């Protein structure tokens, strides 16, 4: 449903280039897009949204090339949340709902009203007079209001308190259940992804580190913890990344053939562990 094939973006500012990124997202799956600050997450979402043009490669959405000619057909089926609200501040959700109703072929007024209730937002209050978190909730209600088959969200959970974040994850799961949509969202809040994502796509400095299912990721990455004494039998180059002090050693590895010291602890790596240790290579 969404295919990125060797996508590159050069801003020609010498600092950053998105290089040959390829991954797929099928309908019915949730993918978390993760990576350190400046790794290219927003660039990818902007490329898919056609806000910026790739310098190389191809993006296909619903089997169509992501070109201006196909823009209307594609956008009708995309629900989006940008990291900053793009709507005029003097509008409110009531007016935006009306605009969406006229813009999208599958606007669902009843569900839109339900989301407004569920997210506890005010329909008549101007966006500019709402808190940052509530502005984000407004974007979320709009993104999910028109039965889009692809949902793209750039940091939708930033600025939301932990209770609302949990509610958002529940809403995304319900939305997937109702519509069988594919959902791609970027986040720094990796714990949100542990429970709901099927795939993780990890970027670092414009390069794709991996795009894997959660199961593959859990199989591949493990954490080893042991005392510094026990760690003497380890070969540090077997680890993707590690940290140690005079007492303990903790590292991320993927090679199942390493000799595990007796009494060392081996556990599944969390998404945060993977990001942290791959970044310490
Ligand atoms: N219009 C632009 N012109 C030049 N460079 C840009 C432009 N937009 C983004 N960049 C650069 O591209 C790089 C990637 O930025 P991007 O916003 O895609 O990263 P990100 O992973 O979303 O970061 P964050 O987690 O901080 O939101 C950064 O170095 C940024 O400065």
Same domain, 184 and 225: no
List the residue whose alpha carbon is closest to atom 11 of ligand 1.
16
List the residue whose alpha carbon is closest to atom 31 of ligand 1.
38
H or E stretch covering 220: helix 214-220
- Provide the domain count of the chain: 2
Same domain, 78 and 118: yes
Q: Is 17 in a helix, a strand, or coil? A: strand
User: How close is the Cα of 280 to the center of ligand 1, in Å?
Assistant: 21
Same domain, 262 and 177: no
Same domain, 179 and 225: no
List the residue whose alpha carbon is closest to atom 1 of ligand 1.
11
Same domain, 56 and 135: yes
User: How close is the Cα of 77 to the center of ligand 1, in Å?
Assistant: 26
Q: For the chain, give the longest Cα–Cα distance.
A: 68
Report the relative pairing of strands 2-10 and 56-61 from DSSP bridges.
antiparallel
User: What is the distance between the terminal CA atoms of the chain, rounded to a whole angstrom?
Assistant: 34
Q: Is 187 in the pocket of ligand 1 (CB under 6 A)?
A: no
**C-alpha torsion angle, residues 118, 110, 181, 81 (rounded to 10):** -60
User: How close is the Cα of 256 to the center of ligand 1, in Å?
Assistant: 36
Is the Cβ–Cβ distance between 66 and 59 less than 8 Å? yes
Task: Residue 43: give the domain boundaries.
Answer: 2-213
Same domain, 71 and 185: yes
Q: Which one, of 81, 21, 83, lies nearest residue 54 by Cα? A: 21
Residue 281 in this model has a pLDDT that exceeds 90: no
Same domain, 183 and 79: yes
Report the relative pairing of strands 150-154 and 30-34 from DSSP bridges.
unpaired
53 Cβ contact list (under 8 Å, min separation 6): 47
User: How close is the Cα of 250 to the center of ligand 1, in Å?
Assistant: 32
Q: What is the pTM of this model?
A: 0.90
Q: Is 43 in the pocket of ligand 1 (CB under 6 A)?
A: yes
Mutate-to-test residue for ligand 1 from 9, 17, 41, 81, highest number of ligand atoms within 8 A of CB? 41
Q: Is 84 in the pocket of ligand 1 (CB under 6 A)?
A: no
ipTM of the complex: 0.96
The per-residue pLDDT for range 186-201, each reduced to its tens digit, is 998 888 888 899 999 9
Same domain, 208 and 266: no
Give the separation between CA 108 and CA 101, rounded to whole angstroms: 8
Residue 11's CB is within 10 A of a number of other CB atoms, namely 13
Same domain, 231 and 130: no
Report the relative pairing of strands 78-81 and 150-154 from DSSP bridges.
parallel
Mutate-to-test residue for ligand 1 from 8, 18, 34, 40, highest number of ligand atoms within 8 A of CB? 40
List the residue whose alpha carbon is closest to atom 25 of ligand 1.
37
Give the separation between CA 10 and CA 17, rounded to whole angstroms: 5
Q: Is 167 in a helix, a strand, or coil? A: helix
Same domain, 259 and 192: no
Q: Is 11 in the pocket of ligand 1 (CB under 6 A)?
A: yes
The residue among 193, 213, 233 that closes a domain is: 213
Work out the pLDDT band at 56, boundaries 50, 70, 90: very high
Q: In whole angstroms, what separates CA 265 from the centre of its chain? A: 30
Q: Which one, of 60, 55, 53, 41, lies nearest residue 10 by Cα? A: 55
Q: Is 240 in the pocket of ligand 1 (CB under 6 A)?
A: no
Work out the pLDDT band at 255, boundaries 50, 70, 90: low
Residue 256 in this model has a pLDDT that exceeds 80: no
Residue 128 in this model has a pLDDT that exceeds 70: yes
One DSSP character per residue, 222-251 reads EEEEEETTGGGGS-GGGEEEEEE-SSEEEE
The residue among 192, 213, 234 that closes a domain is: 213
Residue 144 tokens read as 């999910």
User: How close is the Cα of 206 to the center of ligand 1, in Å?
Assistant: 9
CATH number at residue 93: 3.40.50.300
Same domain, 114 and 185: yes
Instruction: Determine the pLDDT at residue 265.
Output: 94
Atom from ligand 1 closest to the CA of residue 46: 18
The per-residue pLDDT for range 195-253, each reduced to its tens digit, is 899 999 999 999 999 999 999 998 889 999 999 988 888 888 889 999 999 899 999 99
Give the separation between CA 236 and CA 242, rounded to whole angstroms: 8
Instruction: Determine the pLDDT at residue 222.
Output: 93
The sign one gets for the Cα dihedral 12, 57, 185, 221 is negative
User: How close is the Cα of 58 to the center of ligand 1, in Å?
Assistant: 20
Same domain, 272 and 166: no
The residue among 161, 189, 213 that closes a domain is: 213
Give the separation between CA 124 and CA 208, rounded to whole angstroms: 42
């Amino acid at each position: 449903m969404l295919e990125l094939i060797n996508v590159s973006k050069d801003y020609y500012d010498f600092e950053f280039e998105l290089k040959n990124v390829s991954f797929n997202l099928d309908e019915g799956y949730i993918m978390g897009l993760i990576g350190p600050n400046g790794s290219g997450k927003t660039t990818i979402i902007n490329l898919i949204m056609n806000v910026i043009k790739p310098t190389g490669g191809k993006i296909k959405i619903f089997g169509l090339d992501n070109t201006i000619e196909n823009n209307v057909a594609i956008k009708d089926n995309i629900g989006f949340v940008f990291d900053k609200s793009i709507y005029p501040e003097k509008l409110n959700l009531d007016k935006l709902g009306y605009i969406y109703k006229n813009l999208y072929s599958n606007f669902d007024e009843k569900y839109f009203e339900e989301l407004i209730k569920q997210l506890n937002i005010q329909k008549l209050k101007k966006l500019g007079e709402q808190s940052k978190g509530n502005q984000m909730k407004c974007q979320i209600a709009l993104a999910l209001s028109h039965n889009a088959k692809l949902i793209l969200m750039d940091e939708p959970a930033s600025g939301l308190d932990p209770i609302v974040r949990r509610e958002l994850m529940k809403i995304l799961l319900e939305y997937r259940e109702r519509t069988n949509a594919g959902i791609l969202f970027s986040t720094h809040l990796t714990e949100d992804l542990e429970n709901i994502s099927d795939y993780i796509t990890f970027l670092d400095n414009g390069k794709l580190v991996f795009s894997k299912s959660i199961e593959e990721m859990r199989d591949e990455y493990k954490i080893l913890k042991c005392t510094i004494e026990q760690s003497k039998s380890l070969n540090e180059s077997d680890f993707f990344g590690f940290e140690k002090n005079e007492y303990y050693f903790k590292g991320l590895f993927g090679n199942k053939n390493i000799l595990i010291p007796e009494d060392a602890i081996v556990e599944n790596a969390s998404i945060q562990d993977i990001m942290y240790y791959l970044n310490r290579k």
